[in-house]
Amino acid sequence: MDKTLDLKFTYTEKKDTRSGFGDGLLEAGRKNPNVVGLCADLIGSLKMGAFQKEFPERFFQVGIAEANMIGLAAGMTINGKIPFTGTFANFSTGRVYDQIRQSVAYSDKNVKICASHAGLTLGEDGATHQILEDVGMMKMLPHMTVINPCDYNQTKAATMAIAEYEGPVYLRFGRPSWPIFTPADQKFEIGKAWKMIEGKDVTIFATGHLVWEAVVAEAMLREEGISAEVINIHTIKPLDEEAILESVKKTGCAVSAEEHQLNGGLGDSIAQTLIRNNPAPLEYVGVNDSFGESGTPTELMEKYGLNAENIVKAAKAAIARK
Amino acid sequence: MEKQPLEQLTKISSQVRRDILRMVHAVQSGHPGASLGCTEFFVALYFNQMKHDNKFNMDGANEDLFFLSNGHISPVWYAVLARSGYFSPEEMTTFRKLDSRLQGHPATEEGLPGIRIASGSLGQGLSVATGAAQAKKIDGDDRTVYVLMGDGEQQEGQVWEAAMYAAHHKVDNLIATIDFNRQQIDGPTKEVMDLKDLKAKWEAFGWEVIETKQGNDMAAVLEGLEKAKALTGKGKPVLNLLHTEMGFGVDFMVGTHKWHGIAPSDEQLANALGQLEETLGDY
């Protein structure tokens, strides 16, 4: 469908966001000798092989022992190392929540928890691995920064940016091949929302893979004479409240879009902001209190209501409530 | 810090025990039992064995580092840190009170000198210490990393993840000690969850294991720590199985799990302090 639309952002290549992480980690490692990598038996899946090859003395295979990996990383920060831990999002969060809470967040350690295969787009492996609660868990932790970039280029830029930032970070990315529609030379500013498309009738706040769906939705809405603003919320915490309020002040209503449970997700954070400042209509696109299942990423995004068509519906519903 | 001789270490231990009891009594909460049991170990580390700087730098470069995994025995650590000059002994009056740096369980949030990571939720300290030890290796820093765990804590799975890792990666600048007092909250470890042969388990995981059979005898504790130190740098992490008695030093507290997390009454405190010489002056 998107080929026939007049898209404001286009792509010539698709790539997985986890490759953006792997390539960003290699660059960060070249720039800063304190960057170290740890992985729990998923070097290939996390794309950490290039870093391991170039910096074997700064790379640690942990085996299938994620709790230990978080503790090791916290310990390594003490004399100034910048550890990047790598495993699936499920095992990066829920499995090790208490370790992150005590040894990383409460202790305010400079650990970068890098989590791949987040959300439904993991696909065929099914619900055991398709975590949809990770953003909620991580954003509740004091001191924690939560970032969910949208494509290969943004993930690479984010990975390099968090190496320069002092403090615990949760970096979430995914498995599927996805359009590369943001520039390779972008500067990634933690906590700064990116207004990608100007509009006046409704604002779409999207994060992660759903930013692409929001770009497609904007073109679909435009064909129907609706002007949508698209804002890329790559940093869910700290949330760029100023950008959110400024946009909604203009458009008067909003849609949140994320590959996550509605409970505890980006939409919840935006709702809190709006309720306290400008209680405008907000519609949610996300998973509604359910686990996922096996299927292709495209099938799953359609079945669970996470694609451009659903964003369009939500936008119209939000406008109708103005 | 200057190395203190045996006689002085014994004197410091008596004062540290007074500090522990007075802190816990004042706020009527905290964990005196294992704090008293580990007093010789802490005093030996901070006043004799470790190279450390009481001006406190978080990174601890070119210093020996200590991590407390069983964070509930914070009273003994706070007393030893205060008595070795990390902060004023007066600050012990704030233990577990609102706005204190001396939290119920050790934390970095309030910036208490001497603490490098929060602990209390069990099973995490060995992983942290192992990471810190590996970071020292990357930097060519040849000092040693120490960590203390509880024996009940050996029931946590993460301990064994870390045990496997440290042996595999030859983290041989690491000395882990287990406070082997054979007690936990619900009773003797043998009844709650039998640890069986801990020495054989750690050896099977690829560690050098030594036993300090008299963990409340200062000379024996020093000897054990010297022996452990001599085993570092040889390709294997070192485990020190430290046999202690909970509540040691106070006749009515010794050898039972009852004083794990109970504070003494006014009368009990007076009785206990009567058994412990005030050697450095109460705070």
A32 lies within 8 A of chain B by CB: no
Indicate whether A8 belongs to any domain. Answer: no
CA distance B259 to chain A (A): 26
Query: What gap in Å lies between CA A190 and CA A193, rounded to an integer?
Result: 8
Q: How much is the pLDDT for A282?
A: 98
Residues A163 and A249 in one domain: no
Q: How much is the pLDDT for B255?
A: 85
Indicate whether A4 belongs to any domain. Answer: no
Residues A37 and A172 in one domain: yes
Residues A196 and A95 in one domain: no
A76 lies within 8 A of chain B by CB: yes
Q: What is the pLDDT confidence band of residue B256, given thresholds at 50, 70 and 90? A: confident
Indicate whether A81 belongs to any domain. Answer: yes
Indicate whether A38 belongs to any domain. Answer: yes
Q: Do A68 and B129 touch (CB under 8 A)?
A: no
Domain limit, last residue, from A179, A211, A231: A179
Q: Do A103 and B165 touch (CB under 8 A)?
A: no
pLDDT (mean) for B159-163: 98
Which chain B residue is nearest to residue A109, measuring alpha carbons? Answer: B117
Residues of A designated catalytic: 66
Of the candidates B127, B135, B138, the beta carbon closest to that of A78 is on B135
Residues A135 and A265 in one domain: no
In the predicted model, is pLDDT for residue B171 greater than 50? yes
Q: How much is the pLDDT for A3?
A: 57
Residues A233 and A169 in one domain: no
Bridge partner residues of B67 (DSSP) = B147
Q: Do A109 and B117 touch (CB under 8 A)?
A: yes
pLDDT (mean) for A176-181: 98
Residues A199 and A314 in one domain: yes
CATH code: domain of residue A272: 3.40.50.920
Domain limit, last residue, from A179, A214, A235: A179
Number of domains in chain A: 2
pLDDT digits (tens, 9 = 90+) for B82-104: 999 999 999 999 999 999 999 99
Indicate whether A278 belongs to any domain. Answer: yes
pLDDT (mean) for B219-243: 98
pLDDT (mean) for B184-197: 96
Indicate whether A273 belongs to any domain. Answer: yes
Q: Do B164 and A70 touch (CB under 8 A)?
A: no
Of the candidates A71, A76, A79, the beta carbon closest to that of B162 is on A71
pLDDT digits (tens, 9 = 90+) for A69-120: 999 999 999 999 999 999 999 999 999 999 999 999 999 999 999 999 999 9
pLDDT (mean) for A155-181: 98
pLDDT (mean) for B211-219: 98
Residue A307 phi, psi (nearest 5): -105, -175
3-state SS track over chain A? CHHHCCCCCCCCCEEEHHHHHHHHHHHHHHHCCCEEEEECCCHHHHCCHHHHHHCHHHEEECCCCHHHHHHHHHHHHCCCCEEEEEEEHHHHCHHHHHHHHHHHHHCCCCCEEEEECCCHHHCCCCCCCCCCCHHHHHHCCCCCEEECCCCHHHHHHHHHHHHHCCCCEEEECCCCEEECCCCCCCCCCCCCCEEEECCCCEEEEECCCHHHHHHHHHHHHHHCCCCEEEEECCEEECCCHHHHHHHHHHHCCEEEEEEEECCCCHHHHHHHHHHHHCCCCEEEEEECCCCCCCCCHHHHHHHCCCCHHHHHHHHHHHHHCC
Task: Tell me the residue range of the domain where A200 lies.
Answer: 191-320
Of the candidates A36, A78, A101, the beta carbon closest to that of B132 is on A78
B116 interaction partners in chain A (CB closer than 8 Å): 78
pLDDT digits (tens, 9 = 90+) for B112-151: 999 999 999 999 999 999 999 999 999 999 999 999 999 9
User: What is the CATH superfamily name and number for domain B6-273?
Assistant: Thiamin diphosphate (ThDP)-binding fold, Pyr/PP domains (3.40.50.970)
Interface of A with B in 230-269 (CB under 8 A): none
CA distance B74 to chain A (A): 16
Which chain A residue is nearest to residue B71, measuring alpha carbons? Answer: A102
Indicate whether A259 belongs to any domain. Answer: yes
Q: Name the percent of chain B lying above pLDDT 90.
A: 98
Q: Do B107 and A106 touch (CB under 8 A)?
A: yes
Indicate whether A47 belongs to any domain. Answer: yes
B65 interaction partners in chain A (CB closer than 8 Å): 78
Q: What is the pLDDT confidence band of residue A2, given thresholds at 50, 70 and 90? A: very low
pLDDT (mean) for A1-30: 93
Residues A41 and A138 in one domain: yes
Domain limit, last residue, from A113, A147, A179: A179
* Max intra-chain CA distance, chain A: 59
Residues A21 and A156 in one domain: yes
Residues A162 and A196 in one domain: no
Residues A26 and A165 in one domain: yes
pLDDT (mean) for A288-314: 97
Residues A108 and A236 in one domain: no
In the predicted model, is pLDDT for residue A133 greater than 70? yes
Alpha-carbon distance values, A56 to A29, A36, A52, A64, B261 (Å): 11, 10, 5, 19, 46
Residues A241 and A279 in one domain: yes
In the predicted model, is pLDDT for residue B74 greater than 60? yes
Interface test with A, best of B115, B165, B174 (most A CBs within 10 A): B165
Contact A35, A57 (CB under 8 A): no
A41 lies within 8 A of chain B by CB: no
Q: How many other β-carbons are positioned within 10 Å of the β-carbon of residue B145? A: 30
pLDDT digits (tens, 9 = 90+) for A26-66: 999 999 999 999 999 999 999 999 999 999 999 999 999 99
CATH code: domain of residue A101: 3.40.50.970
Residue entry with tokens 């050898």: B255
pLDDT digits (tens, 9 = 90+) for A201-223: 999 999 999 999 999 999 999 99
Q: Name the percent of chain A lying above pLDDT 70.
A: 99
